[in-house]
Amino acid sequence: MNILLKSAKIVCPGNKELHLKKRDILIKKGIIEKIGASVEAPANIKVVEKENLHVSLGWFDSSVSFGEPGFEERETIANGLFTAGKSGFTDIVLNPNTHPVPDTSSDVVFLKERGQGKATKVHPIGTLTTNSDGEALAELFDMKNAGAVAFYDFKKQVSNPNLLKIALLYAQNFDGLVYSFPQDGDIKGKGVAHEGEISTKLGLKGIPALAEELQIARDLFVLEYTGGKLHIPTISSAGSVKLIAEAKKKGLDVTCSVAVHNLFFSDENLIGFDTHFKVSPPLRTNTDCKALIKGVKNGTIDFVTSDHIPMDIEHKRVEFDNAKSGSLGLESTFGSLNTIFELDETIDILTKGRERYQIEIPKLAEGSKACLTLFNPDGEYTFDRKDILSTSKNSMFLGATLKGKVYGIINNDQSTL
């Protein structure tokens, strides 16, 4: 793949020589051959010139679900990776949200093979326990050797604290990353929305922030006892930010993420009972949103994720209580982050995180593999159904005003331009 990018403004806060400079970038056979103020186009090369073209290192998403195997009607791996690439992501961490779940090394190999040869690289997570049933640890070591980047029973609490203790101790033998979903199922009960004024007015069963914070407090105590590497995915409350900040001050090896929709929306969006806004953890208050945004800015929250979960219409076009949780996020992540944060902050958020998963960190330099995202950061637009590339259409961002458009990616000697 040979491409010449013309007059691209480089957004790379960590590279003072190139940051915010307009440059031509020549790419041959997937390698950045030349970066210069003016590069002449060689014969038989694709020249890319776009309105207000900006380029950064390729973007990374730490929480993406598709459907294959088992739920291909929601999303296949092939179309999911195409969607990720058109949305600007060169690397995605794939959740074990399938049927059957990936709890063996052969399952991980299958997922990696299905993603081969695509512009966006897939990095699977294996389950923490066999069948994600919370009873016995899965084949963690074998899955790590097969390419699993972490271990997680998707959106399920680790009910047994001794199981979490054993997992954290065992995973230290091979530098494994253990996930624990922050929600106490007993306190959550049959709740479907944040417990507060809005849920009371709407007559919806509430999920108090206590359900999240109590689980996090327990997990952090276990981590302090065992050591090891713990990741807490998709936190949603101000109290959770405080707990994790305190744990980091103690020196515990803990990271956490937040779903972009928990920064952009609040429980006020539930008025109208639109099931697109039913997610887990739930949308919480504006106060929580502000605390989460502050946590992202000061580094307490390590990653912002799309938490992309395709869901077929049969599970969304039902009563709010009966609808399944989940929203699309890949296509709207850049536009929503770019609305909340300054451009430098947005790109920093989108490009960091690979080191936690031991994924190769790209470089924007001559001689390096081209791992680039192309975009226009300016211009507001209303997110519409036509902007959805996923097979499923369950996006809570429909009708939202977002800022900036993604052109595509160049990665893995492929392009989605």
Give catalytic residue positions: 307
Structure token digits, residue 101: 């779940």
Q: Specify the residue for token string 């050797």.
A: 145
Is 151:171 a contact under the CB 8 Å cutoff? Answer: yes
For residue 23, how far is the Cα from the chain centroid? 30
Residue pair 89/330 in contact (Cβ under 8 Å)? The answer is yes
How far apart, in whole angstroms, are the C-alpha atoms of residue 56 and residue 396? Answer: 27
Q: Is the peptide bond before 362 cis (omega within 30 degrees of 0)?
A: no
Taken in order 75, 77, 79, 81, the sign of the CA dihedral is positive
Strands 229-232 and 177-179: parallel
Upstream peptide bond of 281 is cis (omega within 30 degrees of 0): yes
Q: Report helix angle 209-226 to 238-249, nearest 10.
A: 10
Torsion, Cα of 349, 350, 352, 353 (10° steps):
100
Q: Which parts of 125-234 are beta strand (E)?
A: 177-179, 193-194, 206-207, 229-232
Helices (H), 227-329: 238-249, 261-264, 286-298
Q: Which of 188, 398, 204 is nearest to 319 (CA)?
A: 204
- Going by C-alpha positions, the residue among 180, 171, 150 that lies closest to residue 226 is 171
Q: Is the peptide bond before 100 cis (omega within 30 degrees of 0)?
A: yes
Residues 385, 89: contact at Cβ < 8 Å?
no
Q: Characterise 370 by phi-psi region: left (phi > 0), alpha (psi -120 to 50), beta (else).
A: beta
**Calpha distance 221→216 (Å, rounded):** 9
Q: What one-character DSSP code corresponds to residue 95? A: P
Q: Which residues pair with 372 in a beta bridge?
A: 57, 410
CA 20 to chain centre: 26
